[in-house]
Amino acid sequence: MALTQVSSNKCAGGFQKVFEHDSSELKCKMKFAVYLPPKAETEKCPVLYWLSGLTCTEQNFITKAGSQLSAAEHGLIIVAPDTSPRGCNIEGEDESWDFGTGAGFYVDATQDPWKTNYRMYSYVTQELPKLINANFPTDPERMSVSGHSMGGHGALICALKNPGKYKSVSAFAPICNPVQCPWGQKAFSGYLGPDRSSWEAYDATVLAASYSGPQLDILIDQGRDDQFLSASQLLPDNLIAVCSEKKIPVVFRLQPGYDHSYYFMYSFMNDHIKHHAKYLNA
């Protein structure tokens, strides 16, 4: 798989790069960002995959989250893909901010006209890791996943659907129970069709209820002044209830005064990188 380098900037002793490639899963050109810590010049490093939220590209995380210093310190490669296929010329893909372009929801669509391109779940769990492991100094056995909002949902389902694949998982303000919230219902009915039982395969709260893999330590930060929390889009209580019932260890931190923005993520990013480093560097 050929990669084209789009940009490369020295950062925190390593390099923040962006690449473009032709995606076999998404049938379009895709960009992803990769941070290579100084350690990657001499040895193989574990990889943290970051999944962004609605409307984001690969740029938001690398310019706003402040992850690079901590990634450099702990020797982590961080890979941040885009949030949907781009430029597929599907009718309706640019009509709303929470469906279509920039809103792939990390599912594999089964409905026309989305099913050919909108396969973000397979892209982030299969195609992208293979591409990263083939082109960068990674240890393929050591990977973790994190994300924000729609991407927090993505991170949680990737970990819960693939027991043992990811060493740890964390999320900022994740959409925890998409089958029960307006964002999820809109996206899932469009991508997956009217049969609600098919939606459950991509719902962290439902997946946690039947999880039986190796212990997974989950860290979730949620801003208490997040407008989407009060609008019942995120529903963390539903996930936490299931996790405590199933004895899945979750550290859930409700952070007073913080909203849904990157200012919130920037404030606690070091804690998340440290959480992943603990498991990735063990």
pLDDT of 50-59, one tens digit each? 999 999 999 9
Catalytic residue among 149, 153, 221, 276: 149
Catalytic residue among 108, 203, 221, 226: 226
Residue 200 has pLDDT above 70, yes or no: yes
> Is the pTM higher than 0.95?
yes
Residue 62 has pLDDT above 70, yes or no: yes
Mean pLDDT across the stretch 211-240? 97
Residue 262 has pLDDT above 90, yes or no: yes
- What ranges do the domains of the chain cover? 4-281
User: Can 24 be counted among the known catalytic residues?
Assistant: no
Q: Give the confidence band of 112 by pLDDT, cuts at 50, 70, 90.
A: very high
User: Can 276 be counted among the known catalytic residues?
Assistant: no
Residue 273 has pLDDT above 70, yes or no: yes
Q: Give the confidence band of 1 by pLDDT, cuts at 50, 70, 90.
A: low
9-23 pLDDT, tens digit each: 999 999 999 999 999
Residue 196 has pLDDT above 80, yes or no: yes
pLDDT at 64: 98
User: Can 149 be counted among the known catalytic residues?
Assistant: yes
What CATH number labels 4-281? Answer: 3.40.50.1820
Q: Is the peptide bond before 137 cis (omega within 30 degrees of 0)?
A: no
Catalytic residue among 74, 260, 272, 276: 260
125-154 pLDDT, tens digit each: 999 999 999 999 999 999 999 999 999 999
pLDDT at 237: 98
